[in-house]
């Protein structure tokens, strides 16, 4: 009963924990798979951690940033400078033969510091001054001529509102890698899109060798990715770094490889760079490095080593604290836009960009599902300490995999979302398991308490049965006043109650009836049949007190067989001892043959004849009686098979030879009690604490002699 109850309390606990765990696993998988807002922010923070752990090492310095810094402003005046000053700076750079010059400065309006605009009011009142000013070249035209003299790329910015002017951009060739499956015009809807563009004035844009977009996201965002190409209205426009590479490589066009709406790569001449599906490049940042910069004032003063500009990709930008908004980067440093553009160029030049393959989300989701399933399986089954160790291993595995992929292949895998989801999953599973364990423990405590109460009730019933059984058996001291005979008995049930039986009583003044028996079986059922058998045998005997013992045995067999639906059978030895003459009439129904001991001759014999089958086995069997004359002080020892069949720890059987050897060692004046005590002691010593397999009963009768000293 306890086993089934135990299963009933533990199985539902597992089912509940598993069910809730699976539901939570599916919910967390959906959050990871659909890349919800919290997941994207967590993912981006984790990707930044990679770059904080190991920033990019600068392999080469293909880019030189000519910065209009605080020192240059302090020398030449506040920003913005007259564009003639920018023209001087541009020509100073062009003299060193750079590969390309990119200007990361937007100039959408005419120069307010140009002479004709600076003195516009004076011109209206002074015709002489106006003629002199008209003879001077404008600042914008001067800068336009400087732009035309060199390979200069100007920037433009995307805006959300439509503008009147279409941006100038190089030709794009869009190649759809899956066009055979998708006939028609290639679709480039996956690119970032702007309705319009903020451009430089026409006097500057027209002579430029190229035009590229410099938009990189809002200033309060972390700049992690830069678009390599965008759509402005319906026109494709490259980014400033891509356009600088095109001009430096003297390429006429830019190739855009797509697969449906997903961008695959962008190509310039022989150079090809993979992109993410929206055409953006994931930038791998290095720390700020002074080798990347030269001051504009040093360029104008001719103090810069020509090798810093010769055949270089030169970027002109502002870096003074009051002149530019610094952007947040994953490297943990704020950088001006010109430096971010320089880092993109270094990524492209050294092919050191970061990549997030299209299969990465599926791998992350599969990893989470497999590890989450292992936690769901193990947490309810394992000890909390072992389950926690498994959870730590599962959480650490995506982290280790992500770090290894980043260090080995510069591939960024999201370990934060799977690890956090695994932590949430394990925490819920552990709480559920502990709660179910507490509930199960309380159920078990109630079950144990119920079982204890039932056991106490059963123990009380068994104890009552034991007292009743013991009360049914005669006490040896009933014959203590009769000096003709001495009787001793010991019965040790294998359980609380037993199936052995014995009885003795006086048939008349000179005859003693003795019975010992053994019901097949043990426990309560055997003890109940034992009580019935003893009562039937005694009543049969008392109804015919002068009948021969074989007649009594046959009558008892008939009585006990009449109502025996469970088919019990009983082995029995019964005898009638004449207390005056010592004559023993006996009958054996399948029982262990008793022993007759002569202490004077120090010998023992078994009364082996006559013998018949156990009671209740053969209906109407004709039992026969035997006779034996006892000498004074002879001992009759009767035992059940629990004595002979007792076994020790090695499985060895007690056996008859050991019992007969014990008889031989008894003293000449041994009494019936001495005999019983020695047999029981020797059996206990032999089994050495092994639980008995059968009841052990020893009954001894010593015939002392007639009352008057004369045999009759």
Q: 275: which 2 tokens?
A: 């992109």
Q: Is the pLDDT of residue 389 over 80?
A: yes
> Looking at the predicted structure, is the pLDDT value of residue 315 above 90?
yes
Strand blocks (E) in 186-249 = 193-194, 196-198, 210-213, 225-227, 229-232, 235-238
Indicate the pLDDT class of residue 7, thresholds 50, 70 and 90: very low
State yes or no: pLDDT of 123 exceeds 70. Answer: no
Percent pLDDT > 90 in the chain is: 57
pLDDT exceeds cutoff 80 at 37: no
Give the residue, 35 or 58, on which the prediction is more confident: 58
Facing residues of 464 across strands?
none
> Widest CA span of the chain, in angstroms?
182
pLDDT value for 234: 84
Residue with tokens 């290639």: 186
Tens digits of residue pLDDT in 444-473: 888 888 888 787 776 666 666 666 666 678
Arithmetic mean of pLDDT over the chain = 86
Give residue-wise pLDDT tens across range 416-444: 999 999 999 999 999 998 888 888 888 88
Facing residues of 255 across strands? 173, 267
Structure confidence at residue 709 as a pLDDT band (50, 70, 90) = low
Average pLDDT over every residue of 209-229:
84
pLDDT at 124: 52
Give the model's confidence band at 5: pLDDT under 50 very low, under 70 low, under 90 confident, else very high.
very low
DSSP label at residue 577: E
Partners of 172 in the beta sheet? Answer: 254
Residue 323: its pLDDT value, please? 64
Average pLDDT for 566-587: 91
Cβ(196)–Cβ(163) below 8 Å: yes
> Model confidence at 552, in pLDDT bands (50, 70, 90)?
very high
Which of residues 572 and 323 earns the better pLDDT score? 572
585: three-class secondary structure by DSSP? strand
Q: How far apart are CA 319 and CA 268, in angstroms?
A: 30
């Amino acid at each position: 009963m306890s086993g089934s109850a135990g299963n009933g309390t533990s199985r539902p606990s597992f089912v509940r924990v598993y069910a809730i765990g699976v539901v939570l696993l599916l919910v967390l998988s959906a959050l990871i798979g659909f890349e919800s807002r919290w997941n994207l922010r967590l993912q981006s923070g984790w990707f930044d951690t990679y770059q904080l752990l190991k920033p990019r090492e600068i392999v080469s310095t293909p880019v030189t940033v000519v910065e209009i810094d605080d020192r240059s402003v302090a020398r030449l005046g506040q920003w913005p400078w007259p564009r003639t000053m920018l023209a001087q700076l541009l020509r100073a750079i062009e003299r060193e033969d750079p590969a390309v010059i990119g200007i990361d400065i937007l100039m959408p309006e005419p120069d307010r510091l140009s002479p004709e605009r600076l003195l516009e009011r004076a011109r209206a009142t002074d015709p002489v001054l106006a003629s002199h000013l008209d003879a001077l070249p404008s600042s914008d035209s001067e800068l336009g001529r400087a732009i035309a003299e060199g390979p200069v790329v100007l920037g433009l910015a995307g805006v959300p509102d439509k503008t009147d002017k279409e941006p100038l951009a190089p030709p794009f060739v869009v190649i759809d890698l899956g066009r055979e499956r998708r006939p028609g015009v290639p679709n480039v809807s996956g690119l970032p899109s702007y309705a319009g563009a903020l451009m430089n004035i026409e006097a500057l844009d027209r002579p430029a060798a190229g035009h590229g977009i410099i938009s990189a996201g809002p200033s309060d965002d972390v700049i992690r990715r830069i678009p390599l190409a965008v759509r402005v209205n319906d026109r494709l426009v490259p980014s400033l770094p891509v356009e600088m590479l095109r001009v430096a490589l003297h390429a006429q066009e830019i190739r855009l490889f797509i697969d449906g709406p997903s961008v695959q790569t962008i190509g310039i001449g022989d150079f090809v760079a993979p992109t993410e599906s929206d055409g953006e490049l994931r930038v791998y940042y290095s720390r700020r490095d002074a080798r990347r910069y030269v001051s504009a004032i040093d360029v104008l003063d001719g103090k810069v080593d020509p090798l810093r500009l010769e055949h270089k990709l030169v970027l002109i930008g502002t870096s003074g604290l009051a002149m530019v908004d610094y952007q947040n980067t994953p490297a943990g440093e704020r950088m001006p836009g010109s430096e971010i553009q320089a880092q993109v160029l270094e990524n492209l030049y050294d092919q050191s960009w970061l990549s997030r393959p299209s299969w990465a989300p599926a791998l992350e989701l599969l990893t989470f599902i497999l590890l989450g399933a292992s936690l769901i399986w193990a947490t309810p089954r394992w000890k909390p300490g072992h389950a926690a160790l498994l959870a730590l291993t599962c959480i650490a595995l995506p982290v280790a995999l992500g770090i290894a992929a980043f260090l080995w292949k510069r591939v960024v895998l999201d370990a934060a979302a799977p690890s956090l989801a695994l932590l949430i999953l394990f925490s819920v599973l552990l709480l559920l398991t502990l709660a179910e364990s507490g509930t199960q423990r309380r159920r078990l405590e109630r079950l144990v308490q119920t079982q204890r109460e039932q056991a106490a009730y059963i123990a009380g019933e068994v104890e009552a049965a034991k007292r009743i059984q013991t009360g049914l058996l005669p006490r040896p001291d009933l014959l203590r006043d009769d000096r003709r005979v001495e009787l001793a008995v010991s019965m040790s049930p294998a359980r609380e109650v037993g199936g052995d039986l014995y009885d003795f009583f006086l048939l008349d003044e000179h005859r003693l009836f003795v019975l010992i028996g053994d019901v097949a079986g043990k426990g309560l059922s055997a003890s109940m049949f034992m009580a019935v058998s003893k009562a039937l045998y005694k009543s049969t005997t008392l109804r015919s007190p002068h009948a021969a013992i074989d007649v009594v045995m046959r009558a008892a067999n008939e009585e006990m067989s009449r109502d025996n639906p469970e088919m019990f059978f009983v082995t029995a030895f019964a005898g009638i001892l004449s207390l005056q003459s010592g004559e023993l009439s006996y009958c054996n129904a399948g029982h262990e043959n008793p022993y007759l001991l002569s202490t004077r001759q120090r010998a023992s014999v078994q009364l082996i004849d006559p013998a018949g089958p156990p009671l209740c086995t053969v209906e109407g069997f004709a039992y026969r009686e035997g006779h034996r004359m006892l000498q004074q002080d002879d001992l009759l020892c009767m035992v059940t098979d629990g004595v002979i069949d007792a076994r020790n720890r090695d499985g060895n059987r007690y056996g008859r030879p050991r019992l007969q050897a014990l008889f031989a060692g008894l003293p000449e004046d041994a009494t019936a009690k001495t005999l019983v005590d020695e047999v029981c002691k020797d059996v206990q010593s032999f089994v050495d604490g092994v639980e008995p397999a059968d009841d052990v009963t020893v009954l001894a009768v010593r015939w002392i002699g007639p009352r008057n000293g004369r045999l009759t």
